[in-house]
Amino acid sequence: MTSVGTHVRKAQSLLETLAMILAGIVLLTMGLIIVASILGKLLFLRPIPDDLLMVGLLNVAVIVLPLAYVERMRGHITVTVTTDWLGTRMLGALRVFGALAMAVFFGGIGIMVAGRMPNEIAKGAYYDGVLQIPTWPMKAVFGAAILLFVARLVLSMIDGIHTVITGRDETAPETPNEEV
């Protein structure tokens, strides 16, 4: 692998790890919002306004931010009943096909969501509620996380093509997946 390729992979891995950490922080924040709202309702008869809306919006970040990291670790749910008997080259080809299909699907969703953002920012669109939370910030997080995921999928396709050509899978996950 070239020096540039090594630096790109390290930068990608760093961004994925930071996205995972951010997802963990967001998850803790969701828990704090829920606890604070419950305590506010019990103690002061006033829950946090728009608590359910905030938790719902933060849930988007918790779901999409870790996608690239999970792809790097090859941690997506897979069914290997029919692929256990295939050779390494064929598994590489299937990996390319799967990554391409996911990149097209999720990339399309990301483009559609990101394409609506400028109009929503210009209009000042917001979710109905007491706090009038703007719609675009979580869509920006979604778009950035999908961009990071698609970048990882491109690297997975490159690795799959390399496996098809050489017959060796040199990019195994950093930690092996445990069989359940």
| Tens digits of residue pLDDT in 89-100 | 999 999 999 999
Residue 174 maps to a domain:
no
Output the pLDDT for position 74.
87
Residue 162 maps to a domain:
yes
Q: What are phi and psi of 53, to 5 degrees?
A: -65, -45
Residue 173 maps to a domain:
no
H/E element, 104: helix 88-123
Residue 132 maps to a domain:
yes
Output the pLDDT for position 175.
56
Residue 177 maps to a domain:
no
Output the pLDDT for position 1.
59
Residue 175 maps to a domain:
no
Residue 95 maps to a domain:
yes
Output the pLDDT for position 78.
78
Other CB atoms within 10 Å distance of the CB of residue 83: 11
- Look up the domain containing 141 and give its range: 3-166
Decide: 18 and 68 in contact? Cβ < 8 Å.
no
Cα gap 151→103, rounded to integer Å:
9
Among 167, 68, 64, CA closest to 114:
64
Output the pLDDT for position 180.
44
Q: What are phi and psi of 124, to 5 degrees?
A: 75, 35
H/E element, 145: helix 136-166
Domains in the chain: how many in total? Answer: 1
Q: What is the mean pLDDT of each run of 10 residues along the chain (180 residues)?
A: 82 96 97 96 94 95 95 85 88 94 96 93 93 94 96 95 90 57
